[in-house]
Structure 1
Amino acid sequence: MRRLWGRLSSVNVQKAVWGLEELGLPYERVEAGGAFGRVGDPDYLALNPNGLVPVMEEDGYVLWESNAILRYLARRHGTGGLWPEDPREAGLVDQWLDWQATRFTPSTRDAFWQTVRTPPEQRDQAVIDRSVEASEACAGLLDAHLAGRAYAVGDRFTAADIALGAATHRWLHLDVPRTERPALRAWYERVRARPAADVALPPLS
């Protein structure tokens, strides 16, 4: 029995769903977080004391933190596919997962919240501008890395493409000015075309 707790509007839940779908693993997704609530309930806090999504349960095993879930799924169910067998390639996947979590997604957070989840009359343009500036720096770094590459690490799709793809999906669909990044755009369209991404990446909300 495998259960994933979390609403699909969460970029972190999207990564876990994308991983599950890529690996063809059966799962039940339970709406939680945001308007769905539940994350403050005692039974949920017993699963994740942080009160955040996602949380995955698998045959009595409980795991939270989206990239930890993605790493676990890729290592346990997708060795040689989503998770490279070569230690150096695996190290690079870890590198990009950490960068996504600590740099790219945090840089876009304020622009996302201000333009998608905040009423226009309550938005703070200075906050948006700072977030866009930080996001542009990250997008430029990723675009330079992807120039001449089909995927983020090595010559095939890995867990790094999932984490980076979910973050890029959010960035490219924000209603903010941005510099066009040809390599980033081409890579995004490539990974976005995967059937699993179609399940995992809804319109921003």
Structure 2
Amino acid sequence: MRKLWGRASSSNVMKVLWTLEELGLDYERIDAGGAFGRTREPEYRAMNPMGLVPTLQEEDGWSLWESNTIARYLCNTYAPGGPLYPAEPRARARVETWMDWTLGHLTAPMVTVFFTHVRLPEPERDWKAEGKAREDAGRLFRIVDAQVKGQRFLCGEHTTLADIALGCWVHRWFRLPIERPDLPNLAAYYEALKTRPGFVKHVALPLE
């Protein structure tokens, strides 16, 4: 059976778990990273030289790292041309645009906000940095709010890898104890994400 190495509380691991659920693929998840350790061991570094999570290991021992790449690989291998990662060039480009946008723009401010409220001990919290990051994230979420107006998901009426890349941050945005701008389309999008069993099972969890 294929193995997914990584702790369930990692946003990047969540993306792959949700993808596996959408595709109906069997897997075994092995705790790694954070308090579980293992990522500095030579055997793990042989699979993933960055020593981060997640890492996917196929049944024949072949391994792959970087969550967005793993998600694309799973779709290309087990559901080529399916709605999760469409084959038509322009439809695929739209999906990849939002995947890249999430990684390149939204992740950094959301990591700052999330870590400040959830992961960092009080003496290490930089509230000035949190305020700026929250303002930046709010500005970026306004772009999402405009994108999903009149449609259920980022790229239309069907779930794609764009939603999987973004979904964890949407959940955390609404669950964190912070002030947020009123973005009704984004709120409706969050409700649409909750209709996906993989999102509910692996992403819409208590923050930790």
With the shorter chain as reference, the TM-score category is: over 0.9
Q: Distance in 2 between matches of 1:141 and 1:154?
A: 15
The residue that corresponds to 1:140 in the other structure is 142
CA-CA distance at 1:124 after TM superposition: 1.5
Q: Is the CA contact (8 Å cut-off) linking 1:74 and 1:159 kept in structure 2?
A: no
CA-CA distance at 1:173 after TM superposition: 1.5
Computed over aligned residues only, the root mean square deviation of the Cα atoms, in angstroms, reads: 1.2
CA-CA distance at 1:36 after TM superposition: 0.7
**Long gaps (5+) in structure 2:** none
CA-CA distance at 1:190 after TM superposition: 0.8
The residue that corresponds to 2:201 in the other structure is 199
* 1:70-89 alignment runs, 5 A limit: 70-78=71-79, 79-89=81-91
2:159 to 157, 160, 164: 157
AA paired with 1:36? F
Where in structure 1 do 4 or more consecutive aligned residues deviate above 3 Å?
none
Count of aligned pairs between the two proteins: 205
SS state at 1:63 partner: strand
Given the superposition, is the C-alpha separation of residues 158 and 54 from structure 1 closer, same or farther in structure 2, using an over 3 Å criterion?
A: same
CA-CA distance at 1:193 after TM superposition: 2.3
* 1:88-107 alignment runs, 5 A limit: 88-107=90-109
Identity among equivalent pairs (%): 44
Give a deviation string over 1:106-134, Cα, whole Å, max 9, x none: 12111111110112343221011111011
* 1:1-12 alignment runs, 5 A limit: 1-12=1-12
CA-CA distance at 1:74 after TM superposition: 1.8
CA-CA distance at 1:85 after TM superposition: 2.5
Q: Is the CA contact (8 Å cut-off) linking 1:4 and 1:28 kept in structure 2?
A: yes
Q: Distance in 2 between matches of 1:191 and 1:73?
A: 20
TM-score by length of 1: 0.95
Is 1:66 the counterpart of 2:67? The answer is: yes
Q: Distance in 2 between matches of 1:53 and 1:41?
A: 13
The residue that corresponds to 1:123 in the other structure is 125
AA paired with 1:6? G
**Long gaps (5+) in structure 1:** none
The residue that corresponds to 1:35 in the other structure is 35
Q: Is the CA contact (8 Å cut-off) linking 1:6 and 1:31 kept in structure 2?
A: yes
Q: Is the CA contact (8 Å cut-off) linking 1:165 and 1:192 kept in structure 2?
A: no
Q: Distance in 1 between matches of 2:110 and 2:48?
A: 25
